[in-house]
Structure 1
């Protein structure tokens, strides 16, 4: 059914190393591409992706999709009134004044917890080598989410091995759903235990919102709580790694990120240039015709946020990282009714981390072995598609010189 001469195997070395030429060929030759492997249509152009994300006849809910089988009915898989009802429950924690409060109460302490350990390791030396993905890109989101849920920060080491199978089960290609269901059950029991042990006056921002103290626990929302454990961690892990990669690949001085406006431009452009999630899954609730291709009702649609984010019809020089570009539209947080609920908190998390790094360290550069060298550019080896991130990122952090101000405690 397809004539495009492309390799569309999401797990292939070719695709993982450099999917962008494949996306470009599809945008040009076959913007509605039938993938026999996934029994789905891949949509690659920006305007088409946006149109379908905002079309109420293109739905998220489908009983047999892996996320529904794993988490049960959640925001991710609900449409219409039920979706709006669920968003109304969670929204108060993720907007406006609440995010500003969480920045002070949760984000800054979480970031400082991670950076303090690195400074302590540095000791009296002028610099220290750090595996950035494990120490910072993983460390910060898990330090944040434990505080957001009001559970002990040291539980992060127990949580991550149980969250990772959840991510794998909704990847392309997916890992074991059976393993994910087992670890999800462990997480549900963990949350139920924490709720049962909740003490009066204890701060559990997320759990208190979803499961109000003094009321019976609505067990139908425990699947949503485990989904938020995943959404609040692994997408941020990927994004933080991509931002550091962009800084290193373009020789950006860490001190430049002390400027709030430039820091925001860096974060937003990186989310366009290297989004952490390349695809979202939707279903046609009616027959569609797009670019002359008939799409039958109930067909699966893979909407390519990754390809759309580099569509030359929308973005000038789309393959180039240009903070402050005139068109700053991004699809990293999706669009339409299912726009990521945590967008403001996520942006605040990235902003807080790189602001604190710019104030606490004098500089950063690559160290250790480098993957994917090519003339004039340095490319990381990455894996994943829904959670696309670097495997490793070795950096050397330099001590801030005497006399420079440090971040406020």
Structure 2
């Protein structure tokens, strides 16, 4: 089937799209940048200029009563607009502003990363190497080790949390999985959080639960939906991103030792977030009649703003399909833009930076292992799934011990 035919019957869950969406996006940007999708009953916006403008346009809103996230989580920061949205964001700023993130790097991120890397180092054995599924052991392990500490929950509960967080991600995917299954998982998470709140002890460190539910006040149960949303937001997007960064490093032959350089490591992270963003689409609604590129969009229409397509727009990025750390075009949409820019952007970037810095100090090298699909000679790609949370299922790698005796441990 040609790319043009695929565009006509656009299906985010099709094997063709999941394998390689980029030619489809390119065709849309060229021939139909404001594409009406009958399947989704929504306008798909693919040009960078239009996506950025829509994210800043007050006529384009996040809140809508029948939005799947609203039905799942209730009223939250995700689907609030205007003053109520600014008020909710202000509530969380003490935990996500610069000085707080610097403290969290020491108190939360480093212990979370070291917990995961210590368990892998212990398996190196006499051969000085260990084969792991990077997705399961690291890309999943680190965000869940981080979010339990951020919430003030026992880190050992991470394995229990993920099977209950995944249905929440599925319910807001394209196409969505069962809302009933997600609601049942959310109920389990709320029961768990209620017990955690009842059992919490005084701490010197401000946690996300403390912000939402100050210890000196009765628990506001209306905010429990927001707490479950933060469990999702703090984990599954990071799972996808960490997997994509390692994929980019391996696919382009970057030595693990090169990531010890702070500037280069941060360039690698930012370029990967442009080249392979973890979330490809953001859902918005037209609060009034609007026109984009001559296409009239009626009030209450759904808009799918394609961060994935906008991140490879040839009118903004030179050679956009190439992965080029340090490229001069620094615009990044992986964390959205405008009033709804991800609240945890600085913490997320610090999480990725901490992980790959400490991996570069802990291990002597990393190489891929097992059979992976070839995309062209000398290159390979991952099998991926998801659209809102686009991630590889598996990434088998071999990690090697450093050559300098015992290497760098968790006391760095």
Which of these residues, 310, 335, 338, is aligned with residue 336 of structure 1? Answer: 338
Partner of 1:402: 404
Report how far residue 374 of structure 1 moved: 2.9
Q: How many residues align?
A: 408
Partner of 1:348: 350
Partner of 1:137: 139
- 8 Å Cα contact 1:147-1:204 kept in structure 2: no
Structure 2: gaps spanning 5 or more residues: none
Partner of 1:282: 284
Which of these residues, 240, 246, 271, is aligned with residue 238 of structure 1? Answer: 240
Partner of 1:127: 129
- The CA distance in 2 between the partners of 1:4 and 1:28, in whole Å, is 14
- The CA distance in 2 between the partners of 1:144 and 1:337, in whole Å, is 26
Report how far residue 210 of structure 1 moved: 1.4
When residues 5 and 113 of structure 1 are mapped into structure 2, their CA distance, relative to the original with a 3 A threshold, is closer
- 8 Å Cα contact 1:107-1:144 kept in structure 2: yes
Partner of 1:152: 154
- 8 Å Cα contact 2:7-2:24 kept in structure 1: no
Report how far residue 291 of structure 1 moved: 1.3
- 8 Å Cα contact 1:254-1:358 kept in structure 2: yes
Structure 1: gaps spanning 5 or more residues: none
Report how far residue 371 of structure 1 moved: 2.9
- The CA distance in 2 between the partners of 1:384 and 1:402, in whole Å, is 41
141-150 vs 2-11, greater mean Cα deviation: 2-11
Partner of 2:35: 33
Report how far residue 128 of structure 1 moved: 0.7
Q: TM-score, normalized by length of structure 2?
A: 0.97
Partner of 1:316: 318
Cα distance per residue 1:156-204 (max 9 Å; x no partner): 1110000000000000000000000010011111111100111233756
Query: Which SS does the other structure have where 2:373 is aligned?
Result: coil
Q: CA RMSD in A?
A: 1.4
Partner of 2:51: 49
Partner of 2:97: 95
Query: Which SS does the other structure have where 2:63 is aligned?
Result: coil
- 8 Å Cα contact 1:149-1:204 kept in structure 2: no
When residues 6 and 374 of structure 1 are mapped into structure 2, their CA distance, relative to the original with a 3 A threshold, is farther
When residues 347 and 5 of structure 1 are mapped into structure 2, their CA distance, relative to the original with a 3 A threshold, is closer
- The CA distance in 2 between the partners of 1:24 and 1:220, in whole Å, is 43
**2:20 corresponds to 1:10:** no
- 8 Å Cα contact 2:288-2:300 kept in structure 1: yes
Aligned positions of 1:243-258 closer than 5 A? 243-258=245-260
Q: TM-score, normalized by length of structure 1?
A: 0.97
- 8 Å Cα contact 2:401-2:407 kept in structure 1: no
**2:163 corresponds to 1:164:** no
When residues 362 and 287 of structure 1 are mapped into structure 2, their CA distance, relative to the original with a 3 A threshold, is same
- The CA distance in 2 between the partners of 1:404 and 1:96, in whole Å, is 34
